[in-house]
Homo-oligomer: A and B are copies of this chain.
Amino acid sequence: MAKNTSTAAPEGVGEPGGGLHGRRVSRNLRLEAAVNAAFALAEREGLAGLTMRRLAQEIDVDVTALYRLFRDKDELVLALCERTIEMELDEIGDLAPTESWQDVLRRVAEVTWRVQTRFPAITELTFARTTGGPAERQMVELLLGCFARAGLDPTRAVLLYRTFIDTALGLCAGTAALHSLQPEVRTKDHTTWTRVYSHLSEAKFPVTRAHTDALSAVDDKAIYDTAVEAVLSTAESWASRSRGV
């Protein structure tokens, strides 16, 4: 069953004592180890450091051994994507049935931000991908359930679910892309606001000049929260309209 999810298959269920059993377990263990090492490597060295060669050396195997665990680098990337969602589901934990759909979505958004910004390199690689794996399926069911509970018809529920998750991941990816620039370039990029925008001519850029302080003070998490709340408000508005309020 589910032969397309080898990267997250349960460890050696079935075939008791069969010859395949031990090999499969050890294969999954090595897969796990490779994925774990990739996270460590990504956190430590950034996007440029996450290469097949460095990863192989990190877990002390030959590069070509990695190509027996993953068909190519893209398959590794999808495994990292699945694992990211697993971590998020873990952190979300069990949901009290009393919790409103809005608060569930806020919790998902919060956890997503935390995990995705902790591993910026992996966010850059995975933020637009679809794995079809078990963790992703569970996340889809959870999120879609929120918008369905809100009282939206299927078309609108799906549209808002995708708006919610794509917006959230897109903003995480933007922040991640900045954080994974070389420290030097990153500082240059970040200080542009004060370096350039506070010295513009009052005549040609009156509005920008009037907003200089606010421009350099705004922070990424506030932007993220604002976007999330904007989508939630839209969901509430659509839901109440379809209930005929």
Q: Show the binding face of A for B, using Cβ within 8 Å.
A: 4, 74, 127-132, 137, 140-141, 144-145, 148, 154-155, 157-160, 162-163, 166-167, 169-171, 173-175, 177-178, 185, 189-190, 192-193, 195-197, 200, 204-208, 210-211, 213-215, 217-218, 222-223, 226-227, 229-231, 233-234, 237
Residue of B nearest to A163 (CB): B226
Which residues in B have their C-beta under 8 angstroms from that of A159?
214, 218, 222-223, 226
B174–A127 contact, CB under 8 A? yes
Among B130, B189, B230, the residue within 8 A (CB) of A193 is: B130
Pick the 4 closest A-B CB pairs, nearest first.
Answer: A170-B170, A128-B177, A132-B196, A158-B214
Residue of B nearest to A145 (CB): B207
Which residues in B have their C-beta under 8 angstroms from that of A163?
223, 226-227, 230
Which residues in B have their C-beta under 8 angstroms from that of A128?
173-175, 177-178
Which residues in B have their C-beta under 8 angstroms from that of A200?
137
B167–A171 contact, CB under 8 A? yes
New contact pairs (20) apart from A130-B193, A159-B222, A162-B218, CB-CB < 8 Å: A127-B174, A127-B177, A128-B178, A129-B189, A130-B190, A130-B192, A140-B205, A141-B204, A144-B211, A159-B226, A163-B227, A166-B223, A166-B227, A167-B171, A173-B174, A226-B234, A227-B227, A227-B230, A230-B230, A233-B234
Which residues in B have their C-beta under 8 angstroms from that of A157?
211, 214
Whether A233 contacts B237 in the complex (CB less than 8 A), given A140-B208, A215-B158, comes out as: yes
Which residues in B have their C-beta under 8 angstroms from that of A74?
185
> A95 CB to closest chain B CB, in angstroms?
14
Which residues in B have their C-beta under 8 angstroms from that of A233?
230, 233-234, 237
Q: Please report the C-alpha to C-alpha distance between residue A4 and residue B188 in the assembled complex, in whole angstroms.
A: 11
Residue of B nearest to A133 (CB): B196
A214–B155 contact, CB under 8 A? yes
Among B148, B167, B206, B226, the residue within 8 A (CB) of A160 is: B226
Most B CB atoms within 10 A — which of A140, A177, A227, A230?
A: A230
Residue of B nearest to A229 (CB): B234
Whether A207 contacts B144 in the complex (CB less than 8 A), given A167-B227, A231-B227, comes out as: yes
Which residues in B have their C-beta under 8 angstroms from that of A223?
159, 162-163, 166
